[in-house]
Chain A
Amino acid sequence: MQQLYNFAVGPLAWVAWAVFLGGSAWRIASMWALARKKDMNAVAYMDVRFAARSMARWATPFATLGWRANPAVTVATFSFHTALVLLLLFAPGHAVLWDYAFGVNVWSLPEGIADVLTVLVILLCGFFAWRRLQLPTVRYVTRPMDWLVLALVAVPVATAFLAKQQIGDNLLMSTLHVLSGEATLMALPFTRLSHALFSPFTRAYMGSEFGGVRHCPDW
């Protein structure tokens, strides 16, 4: 198990980062090339000012009709993404890895805050799962891919929690955490997690169309 852990935090981590970065770059570059080839009747209207306006609006809780109409989803979505990004970048364990792999000293979250954020993300994964199971409008359009991406987030965070709280075999949980985290990293460009790559473009395009052509708010 120790060998597997060492492999996971060593060579496999580099592979995961390479797949994530290379895959993301390839997906964005190839999609942009396809857009330039086939979608110039949309690309031509891209406008930085209107794109930024739309992105800022949608990045503000309750600043749009959709957010206001779905308050629980709004609170959950903003909390979920904020906590996740904070943990990814600044969890104490991750700060050690930043230093170990890149020699970079990164500020880290206090232990207590990191624990709270970890529990919060787990609970919010539960909330999103509950929506997919219980709300007809969500259940009707939920496909295996949606469960996969939820699991790709939930498993690394849950195993991090178990490892941190010394529940179960610590080495096993730590190994599972690293492996599942790397799976998520590698899957991001190739699953619906790719909304992290593409939604800035779809948002920017909608903002540009509504700002520059339709002269109407898109929120």
Chain B
Amino acid sequence: MSATEFSGIAERRIEDANLIRGVAALTRERIERVVKAVTKGEAGARLAVYHETCMRCGMCADACHYCLSHGGDPTYSPVGKMEQTMWKLLRTGGKVDPDDIYGMAQIAYTECNLCRRCVHYCPVGIDTGYVMSMVRRICHRLGVVPLYIQDTAHSHSGTMNQMWVKDDEWIDSLVWQEDEARGEIPSLRIPFDKEGADFLYSVIAPEPKFRTQLIYQAAVIFDQAGVDWTMPSSPGWDNSDMCMFTGDYEMMGRLKRCHFEMAQKLKVKRIVMGECGHAFRSVYDVGNRWLGWKFHPVPIVHSVEFFWELLTEGKIKLARKFDEPVTIHDPCNIIRGRGLMDKLREVTHALCSNVVEMSPTREHNLCCCAGGGVINCGPPFKGVRLAGNKAKADQLAATGVHTVVAPCHNCHGGLEDIIHHYKLGMHTKFLGDLIYDCMEKPGAA
């Protein structure tokens, strides 16, 4: 009854320049030292109890999209991945070869999205997301992190944003979008550094870098809703956090402190975050704990909830509804991480006349396979995501619709990739896209 009949990660090794470089610098002694420093020094009872009480019943296999997409291959099940990584490290006291660390890093960074769907399957209450995060922490401290995501972590360190956006480029991007939007709404402004505004609007760095029109849309929505908002002109504007996913918790703490302190400096009443899942996880659930805050020094609101407020309070009025049938994808970090499944549905139903639910749905929905930093591991691992999420492709196809509402950046990236790969003929939309398209714009020229 050993792992030998299933090769697991050994038979699907993928070349990554930084994994190769990092592993080449390892010794068994260093691995053992770091494993003990993390499992005995940083972690405590939570990790030890999970290791001891996981009954190896295999019930979690049905939870994981990787396992479902690979025909029930046990090496992709949540417990199978813990067995190949943390359970092995704890069992051996960290006495493993550098080559083993390569496989563990590949599993932890690219074969688990930390989506926590397996929580719904485990009677004992094992948190696989936490266990795999601790594997990543070990890999980070060993310097064995996939190249592309490590580059984004370096960007966070160098610029306090994920995409190497320079300070002047950030301001230029906002002014550019303000100029563009003023063509449509002549009185529109994107208010910089407005002290005492009702809320600070923060986004992820890929918005100014790749999806700048989303800032335009948000500005139009906020302007026409008549809300009191601001965006910061200096670092602290980016709420994203790849350091949380690489295991660089020290840097994660700096990022979250910078973000919260920007809101405090501007004396805003709360922070409203764009349609991103992982950033919400970082600000709402993880970074605050690292900094020693049980909850948040400034209240955190995700866009889904904020849009729900604008619609229910009548601040946004709709000129029309989106007529094509749509389905709803439930991003893990705001559904399983914040319970926004009802508000997401209320907003979507307000905007769309024909909503077709996926099966399974709500908190039981399948993952996009991009989150948890997996899509950020870059092109070498794109195939892992595509093969690892056939289950999602089948789920999407079964809805028979062509539009997927997904209020999360990573979900967009992951879903678009499988939509293209499996030729599903669908496309994704943010709630902001729909609101911008359907809302009344009394200030329009």
Give the nearest-CB partner of B83 in chain A. Answer: A141
**Which residues of B are interface residues toward A (Cβ below 8 A)?**
1, 3, 5-6, 42-46, 48-50, 52-53, 55-63, 67, 72-75, 77, 79-80, 83, 91, 119-127, 285, 289-290, 294, 335-339, 341, 363-364
Interface of B (DSSP majority class)? helix
Q: Which of A89-97, A155-163, A177-185, A210-218 contacts B (4 or more CB under 8 A)?
A: A210-218
Give the nearest-CB partner of A215 in chain B. Answer: B339
**Which residues of A are interface residues toward B (Cβ below 8 A)?**
31-32, 34-35, 37-39, 41-42, 44-45, 54, 58, 64-67, 69-70, 73, 77, 131-133, 135-143, 146-147, 192, 194-195, 198-199, 201-207, 210, 213-219
Return B314 CB to nearest CB of chain A, in Å: 25
Known: A69-B62, A77-B123, A140-B74. 18 other contacts (CB 8 A): A34-B44, A34-B48, A42-B46, A54-B125, A64-B121, A65-B63, A132-B1, A133-B1, A138-B58, A139-B5, A140-B6, A140-B80, A141-B77, A146-B56, A199-B124, A201-B49, A205-B46, A216-B339
Task: Please indicate the chain B residues that have their CB under 8 angstroms from the CB of A77 in the complex.
Answer: 123
- A219 vs B116: C-alpha distance when bound (angstroms): 12
| Contact A31–B48 (Cβ < 8 Å) | yes
Task: Please indicate the chain B residues that have their CB under 8 angstroms from the CB of A214 in the complex.
Answer: 285, 336-339
Task: Please indicate the chain A residues that have their CB under 8 angstroms from the CB of B126 in the complex.
Answer: 202
Task: Please indicate the chain A residues that have their CB under 8 angstroms from the CB of B6 in the complex.
Answer: 136, 140
| Known contacts A202-B124, A214-B336, A216-B335, A70 near B45 by CB under 8 Å | no
| Contact A66–B44 (Cβ < 8 Å) | no
Return B247 CB to nearest CB of chain A, in Å: 16
* B120 touches which of A64, A133, A135 (Cβ 8 Å): A64
Return B396 CB to nearest CB of chain A, in Å: 20
* A142 touches which of B1, B53, B341 (Cβ 8 Å): B1
* A137 touches which of B53, B74, B125, B338 (Cβ 8 Å): B74
Which of B45, B80, B337, B339 has the largest count of A CB atoms less than 10 A from its CB? B45
30 contacts between A and B (CB under 8 A): A38-B45, A54-B125, A58-B125, A65-B63, A65-B121, A133-B1, A135-B58, A136-B72, A136-B74, A137-B58, A137-B67, A137-B72, A138-B56, A138-B74, A140-B74, A140-B80, A141-B80, A146-B55, A195-B52, A195-B55, A198-B49, A202-B125, A203-B123, A204-B125, A205-B46, A207-B125, A213-B285, A216-B337, A216-B339, A218-B119
Give the nearest-CB partner of B292 in chain A. Answer: A41
| Contact A65–B364 (Cβ < 8 Å) | yes
| Contact A198–B1 (Cβ < 8 Å) | no
- A140 vs B50: C-alpha distance when bound (angstroms): 18
| Contact B3–A198 (Cβ < 8 Å) | no
* A139 touches which of B1, B44, B335, B339 (Cβ 8 Å): B1
Task: Please indicate the chain B residues that have their CB under 8 angstroms from the CB of A195 in the complex.
Answer: 52-53, 55, 124
**Which 7 A-B pairs give the minimum distances between C-beta atoms?**
A38-B44, A215-B339, A66-B121, A206-B125, A140-B74, A35-B45, A137-B58
- A143 vs B88: C-alpha distance when bound (angstroms): 11
| Contact B123–A58 (Cβ < 8 Å) | yes
| Contact B45–A203 (Cβ < 8 Å) | no
| Contact B123–A141 (Cβ < 8 Å) | no
Which of A136, A146, A204, A216 has the largest count of B CB atoms less than 10 A from its CB? A216
